[in-house]
């Protein structure tokens, strides 16, 4: 290998690595910006920045190394809990990411002034906590407010809300709290104020709300105050902590009685001073339970654990069924065998129900993912001087949480793409006789066991000729090759492909359509593209509702057992030797007038052949389909249909594109699940026409 080649390969590696890390950074930063605070995200961002720093230093991109280093430092402080990311920090990091992006992918576009500015901004952000006053002492102010307010009204309730240590956007949480309280009465004052919280996020660990409680029960109030990132909420009557003078308490003898039921126990000193106060129970467990049973907030991790356990149970049950079958084979249908069969059947029924039940518990509406897009579309449209409405439909369509967690980014890329490349400027639209304002439509619907999400724009559409020309220039397509419409659209998802004549700020955030493709394939999903020049483009994503369990067809290939997802299986049949023909050296067969390529799974998977094997009269073929394409897979035997618990193979260092995961069979052995999409991608498979 020549030095140049080595360097090229090296740079390729670096580019893909950099892209991946930048993706992680942007994604997490956006989630943090949209209010999802999570310590793990900070860790992940820190690791990504660290990796990127190391990688860029190795290829000698000093600008990138320097800026990344500063980002890493800043994130390090956040990770150590020394500070919290404020809105301004997030903006700074975003600009840093943009800069890194430019430096890596379009080094000509580097602006030294911008770099200095950015560098300074990051340093300022780093130093900030030191300049900030150490947690302002609010105790005095709270006491002052307590005295002042309780003098005004008899029915003041004091609510203390403690933030979780890693809570971001505390001001937003405080705002939500006060907003929710409006249903129950009037918010009189908060310490610190909303503005103070916004300006100095890190300084406060809690907020005290003084509130005049007019309606609603304590349970309802507690539920309204159950907000993410609020660790504890204490509701009590606002009572001055300082020892009141006798005259004061005499002046308000009945002070405690009104809301006595809602009180937390007072300190002994206070009780002693107010002998007239009703003794109060700390809580009312019976009522709290009765009403609280309607909804329970559960940490997602616990559900994941349960899901894993049910997966184990399914596998165990499969092994048990196998044992029972073996017993019957050896001993026949003895009374014991019959009893065992009944129990096995019962066990499988209960397991299935259990699995269904938990699946339902993991379902969440897609609306949560959608909710961050309007803001993004608005900002982008503004930046590009376009007028765009985002219409969202089907927000309550439910999907498994694990799928939901992974579709946010690919969808965002598609939406950005629609805004950036799809919708034209108002002038262009008027010229084309379209309404000035463009529309991006985001729509989720159920289709059988899958979810279809569409991102549609009414923009300029995809110019096939332009795409093809570009692909030829990039060497993705040979000059003499003619492609179908769908194949041309598929080119959009090829790595490194971008038809934008200028790289805009939007695409500058470094997310190509190949990233979308990879993410969707990773979810065992399918992307379909429809486009008409002048009328717009629609990307349809077909996704499984859940990733955890699928129906699979078990097949035998040489000594190996493999699984074909039943979603992809159209039919299976036995072909006689005479029914297989050859076109251009490739085997094909005919089904109802349609010519379908035939692929030996053994050779496609490069499994060594057993030369001892007898040649058979018939060939077992499973016909699989993906969109409009068909392919016959030759296998040695069909072993049957089974419920498959998908186990992720966590091996980023291996290229496992050809598999959708693995599972554990009844005999305890691991078996691979084929990714049918990858078989269609192989060069030698032609379209079935």
- Site pattern 510..549 for another protein (x: CB under 8 A): ----------------------------------------
3-class SS shares of the chain: helix, strand, coil, % to 5? 45, 20, 30
Cβ closest to another protein, residue 179 vs residue 308: 308
Task: Note whether 664 binds another protein by CB under 8 A.
Answer: yes
Active site residue 50: yes
Ranges within 586-615 binding another protein (CB under 8 A)? 605-607
SS3 of 621-637: the string is EEEEEECCEEEEEEECE
Q: Which stretch binds another protein (CB under 8 A): 274-282, 344-352, 615-623, 667-675?
A: 667-675
CB of 204 to another protein, least distance (A): 34
Task: Note whether 652 binds another protein by CB under 8 A.
Answer: yes
Q: Which stretch binds another protein (CB under 8 A): 117-125, 305-313, 487-495, 501-509?
A: 305-313
**Are 212 and 155 in contact, with CB atoms under 8 Å apart?**
yes
Task: Note whether 655 binds another protein by CB under 8 A.
Answer: yes
Between the alpha carbon of residue 393 and those of residues 31, 542, 601, the distances in Å are 22, 16, 41
Count Cβ atoms within 10 A of the Cβ of residue 314 and give its class: 0-12 exposed, 13-18 middle, 19 or more buried.
Answer: buried
Please pick, from the candidates 182, 583, 669, 689, the single residue that binds another protein as defined by CB under 8 A.
Answer: 669
Please pick, from the candidates 405, 464, 560, 587, the single residue that binds another protein as defined by CB under 8 A.
Answer: 560
**Are 23 and 512 in contact, with CB atoms under 8 Å apart?**
no
Q: Which stretch binds another protein (CB under 8 A): 342-350, 380-388, 493-501, 662-670?
A: 662-670
**How far is the C-alpha of 633 from the C-alpha of 607, rounded, in Å?**
14
Applying CB under 8 A, the site for another protein has a residue count of 34
Task: Note whether 301 binds another protein by CB under 8 A.
Answer: no
Q: Which of 50, 69, 248, 273 is catalytic?
A: 50
Count Cβ atoms within 10 A of the Cβ of residue 420 and give its class: 0-12 exposed, 13-18 middle, 19 or more buried.
Answer: buried
**How far is the C-alpha of 633 from the C-alpha of 61, rounded, in Å?**
48
Strands 438-447 and 388-393: parallel
Task: Note whether 304 binds another protein by CB under 8 A.
Answer: no
CA 293 to chain centre: 28
Q: What is the DSSP string of 38-79?
A: -HHHHHHHHHHHHHHHHHHHHTT-HHHHHHHHHHHHHHHHHH
Cβ closest to another protein, residue 472 vs residue 682: 682
**Are 148 and 202 in contact, with CB atoms under 8 Å apart?**
no
Q: Give the long-range contacts of residues 654-660, CB within 8 A, separation 24 or more.
A: 657/521, 658/605, 660/524, 660/565
Which of these, 409, 368, 373, 407, lies nearest to 391 by C-alpha position?
Answer: 373
Q: Which of 33, 63, 66, 72 is catalytic?
A: 72
Q: Which of 200, 417, 524, 675 is catalytic?
A: 417
Task: Note whether 295 binds another protein by CB under 8 A.
Answer: no
Cβ closest to another protein, residue 627 vs residue 648: 648
Task: Note whether 145 binds another protein by CB under 8 A.
Answer: no
Ranges within 42-71 binding another protein (CB under 8 A)? 55, 58
Beta bridge partners of 161: 207, 233
CA 378 to chain centre: 22
Task: Note whether 656 binds another protein by CB under 8 A.
Answer: yes
Task: Note whether 681 binds another protein by CB under 8 A.
Answer: no
CB of 58 to another protein, least distance (A): 7
Which of these, 394, 525, 365, 393, lies nearest to 450 by C-alpha position?
Answer: 525
Task: Note whether 648 binds another protein by CB under 8 A.
Answer: yes
Please pick, from the candidates 10, 271, 353, 586, the single residue that binds another protein as defined by CB under 8 A.
Answer: 10
Q: How many CA atoms lie within 13 A of 528 on its CB side?
A: 11
Cβ closest to another protein, residue 385 vs residue 655: 655
Q: Which stretch binds another protein (CB under 8 A): 183-191, 200-208, 592-600, 660-668?
A: 660-668
Question: E strands, 258-326, where?
Answer: none
Order of all β-strands in the sheet with 637-645 = 637-645, 549-557, 560-565, 670-674, 659-664
Please pick, from the candidates 649, 666, 685, 687, the single residue that binds another protein as defined by CB under 8 A.
Answer: 649
Please pick, from the candidates 366, 624, 662, 679, the single residue that binds another protein as defined by CB under 8 A.
Answer: 662
Between the alpha carbon of residue 284 and those of residues 162, 219, 221, 553, 607, the distances in Å are 22, 9, 14, 55, 67
CB of 15 to another protein, least distance (A): 11
CB of 662 to another protein, least distance (A): 5
CB of 155 to another protein, least distance (A): 54
Task: Note whether 658 binds another protein by CB under 8 A.
Answer: yes
CB of 50 to another protein, least distance (A): 11
CB of 650 to another protein, least distance (A): 6
Residues that bind another protein (CB under 8 A): 10, 13-14, 17, 55, 58, 308, 311-312, 315, 560, 605-607, 647-656, 658-659, 662-664, 668-672
Among all residues, which ones are annotated catalytic? 50, 72, 417
């Amino acid at each position: 290998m020549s030095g140049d080649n080595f360097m090229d390969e090296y740079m390729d590696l670096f580019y893909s690595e950099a892209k991946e890390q930048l993706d992680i950074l942007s994604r997490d930063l956006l989630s943090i910006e949209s209010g999802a605070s999570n310590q793990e995200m900070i860790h992940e961002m820190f690791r990504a920045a660290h990796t990127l720093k190391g990688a860029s230093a190795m290829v000698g991109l000093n600008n990138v190394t320097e800026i990344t280093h500063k980002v890493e430092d800043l994130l390090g402080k956040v990770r150590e809990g020394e500070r919290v990311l404020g809105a301004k920090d997030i903006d700074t990091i975003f600009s840093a990411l943009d800069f890194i992006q430019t430096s890596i992918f379009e080094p000509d576009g580097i602006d030294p002034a911008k770099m200095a500015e950015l560098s300074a901004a990051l340093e300022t952000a780093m130093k900030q906590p030191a300049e900030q006053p150490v947690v302002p002492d609010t105790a005095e102010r709270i006491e002052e407010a307590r005295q002042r307010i309780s003098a005004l009204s008899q029915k003041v309730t004091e609510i203390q809300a403690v933030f979780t240590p890693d809570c971001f956007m505390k001001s937003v949480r405080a705002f939500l709290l006060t907003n929710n309280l409006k249903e129950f009465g009037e918010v009189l004052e908060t310490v610190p104020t909303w503005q103070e919280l916004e300006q100095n996020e890190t300084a406060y660990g809690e907020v005290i709300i003084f509130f005049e409680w007019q309606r609603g029960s304590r349970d309802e109030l507690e539920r309204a105050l159950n907000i993410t990132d609020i660790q504890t909420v204490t509701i009590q009557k606002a009572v001055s902590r300082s020892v009141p003078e006798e005259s004061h308490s005499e002046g308000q003898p009945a002070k405690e009685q009104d809301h006595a039921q809602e009180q937390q126990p007072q300190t002994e000193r206070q009780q002693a001073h107010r002998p007239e106060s009703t003794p109060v129970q700390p809580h009312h467990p019976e009522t709290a339970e009765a009403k609280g049973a309607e909804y329970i907030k559960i940490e997602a991790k616990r559900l994941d654990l349960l899901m894993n356990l049910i997966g184990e149970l399914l596998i165990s049950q499969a092994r048990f069924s196998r044992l029972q079958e073996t017993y019957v084979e050896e001993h026949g249908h003895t009374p014991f065998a019959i009893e065992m069969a009944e129990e096995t059947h019962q066990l499988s029924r209960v397991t299935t129900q259990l699995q269904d039940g938990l699946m339902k518990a993991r379902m969440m509406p897609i609306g949560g993912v959608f909710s961050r897009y309007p803001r993004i579309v608005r900002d982008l449209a503004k930046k590009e001087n376009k007028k765009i409405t985002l219409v969202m439909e089907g927000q309550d369509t439910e999907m498994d949480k694990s799928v939901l967690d992974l579709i946010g980014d690919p969808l965002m890329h598609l939406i950005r793409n629609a805004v950036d490349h799809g919708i034209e400027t108002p002038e262009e639209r008027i010229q084309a006789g379209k309404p000035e304002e463009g529309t991006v439509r985001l729509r989720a619907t159920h289709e059988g066991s899958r979810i279809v999400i569409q991102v549609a724009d009414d923009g300029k559409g995809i110019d096939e000729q332009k795409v093809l020309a570009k692909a030829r220039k990039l060497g993705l397509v040979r000059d003499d090759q003619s492609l179908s419409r769908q194949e041309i659209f598929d080119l959009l998802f090829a790595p490194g492909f971008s038809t934008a004549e200028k790289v805009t700020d939007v695409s500058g955030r470094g997310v190509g359509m190949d990233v979308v493709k990879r993410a969707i394939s990773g979810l065992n999903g399918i992307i379909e593209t429809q486009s008409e020049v002048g009328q717009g483009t629609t990307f349809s994503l077909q996704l499984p509702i859940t990733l955890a369990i699928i129906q699979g067809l078990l097949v035998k290939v040489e000594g190996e057992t493999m699984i074909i997802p039943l979603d992809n299986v159209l039919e299976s049949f036995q072909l006689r030797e005479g029914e297989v023909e050859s076109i251009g050296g490739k085997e094909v067969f005919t089904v109802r007038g349609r010519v379908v390529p035939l692929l030996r799974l053994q050779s496609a998977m490069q499994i060594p052949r057993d030369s001892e094997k007898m040649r058979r009269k018939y060939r077992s073929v499973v016909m699989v389909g993906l969109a409009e394409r068909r392919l016959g897979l030759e296998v040695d035997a069909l072993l049957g249909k089974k419920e498959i618990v998908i186990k992720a193979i966590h091996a980023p260092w291996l290229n496992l594109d050809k598999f959708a995961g693995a599972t554990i069979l009844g005999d305890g052995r691991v078996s691979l699940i084929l990714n049918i999409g990858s078989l269609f991608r192989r060069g030698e498979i032609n379209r079935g026409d």
